[in-house]
Structure 1
């Protein structure tokens, strides 16, 4: 309910002489203010600025808008490593990608599994319990080339998606996605995290040694040979 009220500001010049008070100039200015106030709400300057305060509250302390990944990470009760393990229990094979997402208002982990049966499987897992909510098989035979390439890149690797998530560790934030980049020149796990201040970070994990490096700052998807702070696995 909108209420309208008037604030009166009065400026007066007063001359005091011989004990007598004489007002020589009086100016009154009426200022109209419109606020959205419910019944019984206090009508004050603070109330009028409430909508602005609510808008500012959507941003971080330094004015950055909180990222969607930060909000999701705060609501998830299970981690990427747990979800990856649950995915391969449901479908034996290799998790090639897992990502924290939202499905019809609920937080879920979306996983891609290259199954031992030779097919791509897509799984949706509850982000609170890692229970499998939905799974399907990709029947598109055009993906056969991608399967062969992924298998070739995975051959000889010892670090899986769950291992890559653990290698990055909690010190670097909450893992929101793990993706296997099957570049023929140098395969790598790309792990994305979000920290409490809302910042998103990308790390590269070696699929054979679990060594961790920061992705190039200018382009997270650029040449994976970029310099980084190699410090090995944390967990």
Structure 2
């Protein structure tokens, strides 16, 4: 009974204090230790630290970052190649391409394969309709496509692209010299200056970085609004 009371008191102290609690070994009537020592602490950020190795458990964000980096490095089909494949299937102008690790259209298309990584390319056709085309990142084959009736940015996209000579595929190739491209999007809201292609790159050990590619010159500059980036002012052009 006394042993149970001691253990309960130590456990309560750990829960209330939010700090380090040590369960001390107690001794039974025969003099032998009956409770093993367990050292557990709660870190300042709320994570649980195992004192045996001194490291916090990985956060969900850290695991997601590693998963995204692994997906990017394993994709054999580049963003530029995925855009080209999508335009062969659905003629028009590619406005964005994103490497997606989840099949968001599985339920709508009746596809019960579950989650499957794919490039998702948004294409604006000549008649003003929008199409979403999914490309296999391993083979470059078209996994499916559908019309996106909810898209209402036709006028904005056309206005931003007017006078520009750099396509989404060319922007992806220009930024590929920085790292592995995981997305290309037309930034036409004007918050970060004139309309441009916004390209995201990712790699193991480098994290995520956003770049802006000029629609007219193809010049690549670091996106200064990207809080996760290195803040470097590297620039260059890899126009084809």
- In structure 1, the residue matched to 2:156 is 149
Matches within 5 A, 1:109-188: 109-140=119-150, 143=152, 146-170=153-177, 172-183=178-189, 186-188=194-196
Question: How many residue pairs were aligned?
Answer: 182
Name structure 2 gaps, 5 residues minimum. Answer: 1-30, 39-49, 104-113
Work out whether residues 164 and 205 of structure 1, in 8 Å CA contact, stay in contact via their aligned partners in 2.
Answer: yes
Change (3 A) 1:105 1:74: farther
Residue from 216, 227, 236 that aligns with 1:208: 216
> TM-score normalized by structure 1?
0.66
Matches within 5 A, 1:67-86: 67=65, 68-86=67-85
Secondary structure of 1:130's aligned partner: coil
Change (3 A) 1:199 1:152: same
Change (3 A) 1:230 1:173: closer
- In structure 2, the residue matched to 1:95 is 94
Work out whether residues 66 and 198 of structure 1, in 8 Å CA contact, stay in contact via their aligned partners in 2.
Answer: no
Separation (CA, whole Å) in 2 of partners of 1:227 and 1:198: 13
Separation (CA, whole Å) in 1 of partners of 2:148 and 2:98: 18
Query: How far does the alpha carbon of each residue in 1:16-36 deviate from its partner, in whole angstroms, 9 at most, with x for none?
Result: xxxxxxxxxxx97566489xx
Change (3 A) 1:139 1:128: same
- In structure 2, the residue matched to 1:232 is 237
Q: CA deviation at 1:196?
A: 1.9
Name structure 1 gaps, 5 residues minimum. Answer: 1-26, 35-48, 221-225
Matches within 5 A, 1:33-44: none
Q: CA deviation at 1:216?
A: 0.8
Separation (CA, whole Å) in 1 of partners of 2:232 and 2:206: 24
Bigger Rg, structure 1 or 2 = 1
Work out whether residues 76 and 107 of structure 1, in 8 Å CA contact, stay in contact via their aligned partners in 2.
Answer: no
Runs of 4+ in 1 over 4 A off after TM superposition: 27-31, 217-220
